[in-house]
Structure 1
């Protein structure tokens, strides 16, 4: 079969296959895959059942040019089908999927990617009006990675201050809560999630897809067995991997578990995370990032070949990130450093200043972070942005957008911690040799300035841009020489200095 449509590089080629007869369980008993060839490169992609009589095979062309494919299947109607399509230059502004680049991230075309994440766990199945508000909040505040659960979420706060108990319109598996058939998936549920991923992709936002989590009132997390886990994970790979904006997170708080008596405990064996991680790495033809997320008081997942980056939860966003970056030699993302909000639970009552400070610290440690917001409005304990979505109202979100703009104007990936200009409390610094510096001040420290330059007697000049990180303004531009910093670059709260050596 010849396909006349042209598919952009990093777009989606989709092959729809129809069968007149279905035998057995189409999710478990039927397999279909295609091998795609361009030049001397081959990639094998598994298809998936999408309900009624339809199977789909999705592929993201990563090169420009003519592609040939051949289908193999245990269904005679599909086996042996061949075809061609062409991949063309992508639309301006599309840079491809995000890849790990040392301890940082790049898009596939080499463009640096600075993670500025936020959290909306269950926004995917909220009413359309709320979803629109959520997408607007993501875009308006410059967030480019969204942590979002694939399964529905149930949660009651530790002090009963939060009540997330909304059912999805349809469940992911056949049957009833606590009696699901995990070998029979409901395509409608996954189509809805997929539409949310597609909406984010159109906005240039990464979807951090969280595959498992323990916050469950429907017997999903507690009753799925390993065979169910792997059937579901492979289905999600086949369904979502062709979207360039997908990241895989194995779990939210993978180490939450319970004793046989039902008591809360923390341990690492709730599921076989290594098998799940290795399955994704082996079967995702497009190599999307993979991580797994922890409880703040227990285990950070050990290094593995399948682990592309380290996702942590902890309020220490400076020292811990620096330690882990040195230990893992991979990107570190503090995906939950506690949320800005007004609930009673300590994980959701940070003020805006604390939230902004913690996020700045993650960057000054050479890492990344994800924001979140948990405000009860008029006593509403259910519709909290961190889970429900809606409209962000906190102080920190617009200030984080300004922070991101500053950091993206720097050669951030080429900068390292400048210990000579960091006291790990009042002020922090990054540098690229002696050519560029970034100084961040959190508190006033009268009489103290910064040290920069070669100190070989040449006294180089620097152009300095001065920012007010709290009020989100660029204040002034200065020219300073080495040794003049104590007078001209004072350490004042919420001040950021960006220095570039004049040639």
Structure 2
């Protein structure tokens, strides 16, 4: 947000306000103060002849757009790290198709002199824009020129620290988990929402009410249907006026960006359930048009830190007719590589698969595994399925694995929800939860009407996530061979976490040493019981007959990771 303060005779009313709002202003006198909430600049004015100074403060809000809330001033003196730098550029040219007939080529130079080439995008009328996400603190330079010579701009901007945690990516310590490019860690708490989420004919007040609830509930990612393209099927996207991204129309993208920017400001990430090339949508089929579409999306949305990419979905391999017979194995790999190669920001990218193993797991373009299946409550089968699909350097997103209320997901009660949530976390899977009443467009997930929610189910999963936030989960890996029963996460030599879905005695094959023994009640993880030490991890039994327990073994010289204040 850019604010201009025009003031006369500051020493009276307004002086204290201005000194509070802009501490850098040392003196009074008529002038103009302008800037954002973090950076203020002052231009003095000469007193006007025959004008009596009065204690007058005129506040003019020039831009209050949501698009500015986490991207810094679009006119470019400073921008937050991993936020969005943006500048408009005008062209004097005349084009039959402004989206395709000319390119706006941009070179960015970081504070160390490294250059990155990117491109701008047409935004309507005679206006193009350049948009970028700087990842290094310091002074950046940019130079943008139209391919036909019809215009050019250049300049600098300052990248300053921000509250953005970094680009969503694989964790830098242990890439089987998600993390941020800054090195910060994140526990994904994802929720699936239906086709109306981006629709202009779904009231904004209802969207806000849902998002306020989701934030309070702790969700930090949404899996969104009919995004990017509308799933034109009855009971799905049909009738919902979602942004129509193809054929290219800048106004349609701006509609989506208002919501994407709100999500970024709320620190909520976005997974597009159907991806670039969605089921029952009007995506481009000609290869040249596909590249044009991909590059336009990247130019506009690539600089968002909170976006994951999906080539196509749901289930292009088993429903070819619903993908215009244009999403074969070869097509998916071709498009996946093109998106990966064109995306200078390296967003996580995957493909929405049918039930079963991820056949693209080892493809070079794919950066995280997406799974559907294991929809029941056979905990051993679920755990084995997740472990089978793990890649040593890629996170795993259990996208369509845990959807209570969905007609294909056999989850019967609250105990099933708790136990499945624990087992998925023990398998190092990022959970995408849901609250449905039939298919994926029904129930609370479909309506996002708070009256439709099953609050108890959300609270159960939240408690499981909250427990894992108290430990260094990102240092741990599934280690099923370490135990003779239950499910194990381990940081070898340091700590072992075992989940027992039934009250049993367990043997843990620990490395030689002394370990503190703590039992944690899975129904109420605040019930934590220290029961002494073990040298060999053998014959460890839960305190009583309560159904499911967690066992934590921590090496004697390691930090205690069960502190309730640890985050």
TM range (shorter): 0.7 to 0.9
Task: Note the 1:464-483 alignment, pairs <5 A.
Answer: 464=518, 466-469=520-523, 472-482=524-534
Which whole-Å CA distance do the structure 1 matches of 2:355 and 2:509 have between them? 36
Is the Cα contact below 8 Å between 2:77 and 2:156 reproduced in 1?
Answer: no
- Residue of 296, 305, 314 corresponding to 2:373: 314
Aligned to 1:97: 167
Residue 366 of structure 1 pairs with residue 428 of structure 2: yes
**Cα distance in structure 1, aligned partners of 2:477 and 2:357:** 29
8 Å contact from structure 1 (residues 258, 265) kept in 2: no
Structure 1 pair 384–185 and aligned structure 2 pair: CA distance change class (3 A): farther
* Bigger strand share: 1
Counterpart of 1:228 (choices 289, 304, 310) is 289
Matched with 1:159 is: none
- Structure ranking higher on relative contact order (CA contacts 8 Å, 6+ apart): 1
What displacement does 1:127 show?
2.0
User: How many pairs align?
Assistant: 464
Output aligned runs, 1:71-86, within 5 Å: 71-79=144-152, 81-86=153-158
Computing the radius of gyration over CA atoms, which structure comes out larger, 1 or 2?
A: 2
Match of 2:239 among 150, 167, 177: 167
Structure 1 pair 19–353 and aligned structure 2 pair: CA distance change class (3 A):
farther
Question: Cα 1:258–1:249, aligned 2, differ >3 Å: closer, same or farther?
Answer: closer
**Partner of 1:395 in structure 2?**
456
1:158-197 aligned at under 5 Å gives the runs 163-169=235-241, 172=244, 182=246, 184-197=247-260
1:170·1:188 contact (CA, 8 Å) conserved in 2?
A: no
Given candidates 222, 232, 240, the residue that maps to 1:146 is 222
TM-score, structure 2 length as denominator? 0.73
Per the alignment, do residues 29 and 374 of structure 1 end up closer, same or farther by CA in structure 2, a change over 3 Å counting? same
Contact 1:463 1:502 in 2 (8 A): no
Per the normalisation by structure 1, the TM-score is 0.82
Note if 1:502 corresponds to 2:561.
Answer: no
How well do the aligned residues superpose, as a CA RMSD in angstroms? 3.2
Following superposition, the deviation at residue 390 of structure 1 comes to 3.5
State which of 310, 315, 321 in structure 2 corresponds to 1:249.
310
Q: What is the DSSP-based 3-state SS (H/G/I as helix, E as strand, rest coil) of the residue aligned with 1:198? A: helix
Per-residue displacement from partner, 1:323-377 (whole Å, max 9, x unpaired)? Answer: 1225x64222221114111x5x32487654434433322221233221122137x
Return the alpha-carbon distance in structure 2 between the equivalents of residues 331 and 34 of structure 1: 32
- Corresponding residue number in structure 2 for 1:354: 416
Alignment-derived partner of residue 451 in structure 1: 508
1:124 and 2:198 are equivalent in the alignment = yes
Matched residue, 1:433: 492
Contact 1:257 1:270 (C-alpha < 8 Å) held by counterparts: no
Q: Secondary structure at the match of 2:390?
A: helix
Alpha-carbon separation, structure 2, partners of 1:31 and 1:288: 23
Unaligned ranges ≥5, structure 2: 1-73, 375-380, 558-567
- Which position in structure 2 is the counterpart of 1:411? 472
Q: Are residue 294 (structure 1) and residue 353 (structure 2) matched? A: yes
Give 1:165 shift.
4.7
Post-superposition shift, 1:313? 0.9
**Mean CA deviation greater in 50-59 or 238-247:** 50-59
In the alignment, the residues of structure 2 paired with residue 3 and residue 171 of structure 1 have an alpha-carbon distance, to the nearest angstrom, of 27
Unmatched 5+ residue regions in structure 1? Answer: 157-162, 174-181
- Deviation digits for residues 70-111 of structure 1, max 9, x if unmatched? 1121243323x21111111223xx321122243222212211
C-alpha contact (below 8 Å) 2:76/2:87 kept by paired residues: no
Partners of 1:349 and 1:374 within 8 A in 2 = no
Contact 2:399 2:431 in 1 (8 A): yes
Report deviation, 1:308.
0.8
Could you give the per-residue CA deviations for residues 281-331 of structure 1, whole angstroms, max 9, x where no partner exists? 1221211111111011586325222111111111154112211225x6422
